[in-house]
Structure 1
Amino acid sequence: MLRTTIKSLMMATILAGAPMAAFAADFTIRATANSNENDEDYDGLVVFKNYVEAASNGAIAVEMFIGTQLCSTGAECLQGVADGSIDVYISTSGGAAGIFPYIQVLDLPYLMSSDRIAETVLSGDFTRELRKMALADSGDKIRLMTIGNTGGWRNFVNTKRRIVSPADLEGLKIRTVVADLPQELVKSMGASPTPIPWPELFTSLQTGVVEGSQNGITDIMGMKFPDAGLKYMTLDGHSYMGALWWMSNDRFLAMPEDLRKIVNDGFYALQQATFASPKRKSIQAYADFAAVGGDLYVPSPAEKAAFKEAAAPVFDWFKANIDKGDVVFTALTDAVAKAEAAEAANSASDLN
């Protein structure tokens, strides 16, 4: 009896999967993330693939390429999106800055104060405005689908001392990427920006080539930076680590409207997954950092205001030196102000 029941269940499972296997997908989306399976980008792609394939009843297939199988740098990968060899790619703002310099607005410090504000801003018209700008500047080839998160918030971390005020950063050699904006931020704090490729950061900390960095806790623990001497972390949360999800506009528009809606909804599901993933992963990461002797410091509101004041010259530099910088800066700050007002009203209602 049991054997017959198991056989029936197996046959039902096979038959249930038969329609999906019998028909080839009408569209195949080739998606790449230059990360690994422990990253939020991977979590987001898994959610996207599952949603799109199921909701389209197999009409859309998603192929995932994790790492550098299809491309290695932001410029190379975005060129692949533009010429159609890659359908979906995720970049940081730094990775896209070579093509869309104004995307670095996401790296401006102390403009978004919390996950709730950042998630509201990045789910609204600000992202749609960036989409229009990127389409215009790429000849309608590269479409910004959504902005999620990759690693939480950037904080100042170093090997030397606790950072309570901008003055404590003076003289420290802080690792940055090659892009101008993060170097301007480090300079505004009185520290010395030192561009170092990410794969070389562990050794650079270990040997004293650099004495600090700006990273989220999951990256710090994932790369075992405390083993290289990284000990002091100030949770100033100066920038939200946005993940920009790009798609070939030609590929997107080639689909009928009902499938475009499914893809669009799939990116919403992806965004929500990447918003949530760092929050969960950071709990253990902070505990692990403290367990190996890491020093965590949370600035008071007054101390954080001092950091923002010190960083003010970066805003003027961005508006003056980045093409369309003034336009995108205004778009972001207006969106933040609107989100903060709505949040204040909602909070007042919820607390009374």
Structure 2
Amino acid sequence: MKARITTTLTGLGLALGIAGAAAAAETTMRIAHVNPPEIMASNAGALSAVFKQLVETASNGEIEVTIYPAGQLGKDAEAIAQVRQGIIESSISTAGGVAEHYPRIGVFDIPFAFPNIGVANEVISLESEFGQMLAEDINEETGLKVLGLLDSGGFFQFTNSQRPITSPEDMDGLRIRTMTLPTHEALINSMGSRATPLAWAEVYTALQTGVADGQMNPIQQTAFAKFDEVQDYLTISNHLITPYVWFVNQDFYDGLPEEHQRIIDWASKVAVDAGRAMSRIIEASDQGLPKLADSMEVNTITPEQREAFAASAQPAVRQVIEETYGEEGVALLEAMLSSIEEAHAAQR
């Protein structure tokens, strides 16, 4: 199923307004993302800054990389639409935005599938067999080339204002904010909580006023959003991890000289490594878990309880995946689970 392409007038106007800048260099590559621009504030900020420096230096200025952070050209799905249309050349996009163009990215929502971040790094990568399979499927569905895959900031964790969560029973009755994704809603409802789908802009106020008791996000998003001001408990559950997909317009890439393609290829690999590393640095820094631990009670679920959580949540989410994405989605899910098991076995 081809994804519907939508582009806001604002994003389109901004994109057209910068078109004149492309004439300044032999080649201009414009990259959009929705994260903060500072190199030490987000993985997309680090990735794009490293890529810009490497490409411009290696090409002796023949390629100019221009970065549009913080949603300057629109939301994720809108930026992807602009890449598909050739208005800009590239975007670094969350799974939520990707889903509007490639719905099968939802297979990553199977909970408790990734045992640790090392396995996630191995699987969510163009170096893995699964990553290559995913990139090819995305290309067939959207026409876009995948330049890189990495996690969107780390594992999702639970926070709430009511009590520590150590077992599935502790989830009972909690109103947990989710994105408006059927898989996320099924995950929360399957554990006895009440999924409360809300737009991101509404989450802080909902937590503050009690419309929602809790939410789930990676550490860095929770810290940057200052949810520790309105939440008392943080549970290291590591229940989900979703990808950032780095797209480039296929026609743009194919039209480059081979030498410029080679520069972009190796520079993108280095930049993805930098983005992954920045996520881990932020988590461990005073912008991440230490910041949250100053004002929240933090606990980690045990391996035994992790199995109990998985037994509770996986069947419900798998059913949604089967019903929503059909045989192709199930095949992609099984390929991902096999890749996870292979990477995990290599650690043992």
Could you tell me which runs of 5 or more consecutive residues in structure 1 were left unpaired when the two chains were aligned.
1-22, 345-352
Cα RMSD for the two superposed structures: 1.5
* 1:128-139 equivalence runs, <5 A: 128-138=132-142
| Counterpart for residue 242 of structure 1 | 243
Could you tell me which runs of 5 or more consecutive residues in structure 2 were left unpaired when the two chains were aligned.
1-22
Check the 8 A contact 2:110/2:314 in 1, yes or no.
Answer: no
Q: Whole-Å Cα distance in 2 between the matches of residues 259 and 106 of structure 1?
A: 33
Tell me by how many angstroms 1:200 deviates.
1.4
- Tell me which amino acid in the other structure corresponds to 2:28: T
Q: Whole-Å Cα distance in 1 between the matches of residues 219 and 24 of structure 2?
A: 42
Q: Whole-Å Cα distance in 2 between the matches of residues 241 and 318 of structure 1?
A: 15
Higher alpha-carbon deviation: 114-123 or 142-151:
142-151
Tell me by how many angstroms 1:58 deviates.
1.8
| Counterpart for residue 28 of structure 2 | 28
Q: Whole-Å Cα distance in 2 between the matches of residues 185 and 94 of structure 1?
A: 16
Q: Whole-Å Cα distance in 1 between the matches of residues 310 and 180 of structure 2?
A: 23
Q: 2:218 aligns with which of 216, 219, 237?
A: 216
Check the 8 A contact 1:319/1:329 in 2, yes or no.
Answer: no
Could you give the per-residue CA deviations for residues 255-314 of structure 1, whole angstroms, max 9, x where no partner exists?
12221121121221121112111211112222221212x111111110111111111211
Q: Whole-Å Cα distance in 1 between the matches of residues 183 and 132 of structure 2?
A: 23
- Aligned pair 1:194/2:212, yes or no? no
Tell me by how many angstroms 1:135 deviates.
1.4
Q: Secondary structure at the match of 1:70?
A: coil
- Aligned pair 1:71/2:74, yes or no? yes
Q: Whole-Å Cα distance in 1 between the matches of residues 147 and 110 of structure 2?
A: 21
Q: Whole-Å Cα distance in 2 between the matches of residues 211 and 261 of structure 1?
A: 49
Q: 1:57 aligns with which of 41, 57, 60?
A: 60
Check the 8 A contact 2:25/2:61 in 1, yes or no.
Answer: yes
- Tell me which amino acid in the other structure corresponds to 2:63: I
Q: Secondary structure at the match of 1:206?
A: helix
- Aligned pair 1:159/2:165, yes or no? no
Q: Whole-Å Cα distance in 2 between the matches of residues 280 and 297 of structure 1?
A: 20
Q: Secondary structure at the match of 1:329?
A: helix
* 1:227-238 equivalence runs, <5 A: 227-228=229-230, 230-238=231-239
- Aligned pair 1:48/2:43, yes or no? no
Check the 8 A contact 1:127/1:146 in 2, yes or no.
Answer: no
Tell me by how many angstroms 1:340 deviates.
1.6
Q: 1:343 aligns with which of 332, 338, 347?
A: 347
Larger Rg over CA atoms: 1
Task: Give the count of matched residue pairs.
Answer: 317
Tell me by how many angstroms 1:24 deviates.
5.6
Structure 2 length-normalised TM: 0.87
Q: Whole-Å Cα distance in 1 between the matches of residues 86 and 217 of structure 2?
A: 33
Q: Whole-Å Cα distance in 2 between the matches of residues 59 and 210 of structure 1?
A: 51
Could you give the per-residue CA deviations for residues 29-77 of structure 1, whole angstroms, max 9, x where no partner exists?
00011121322111110011111111222221100111222222x3321
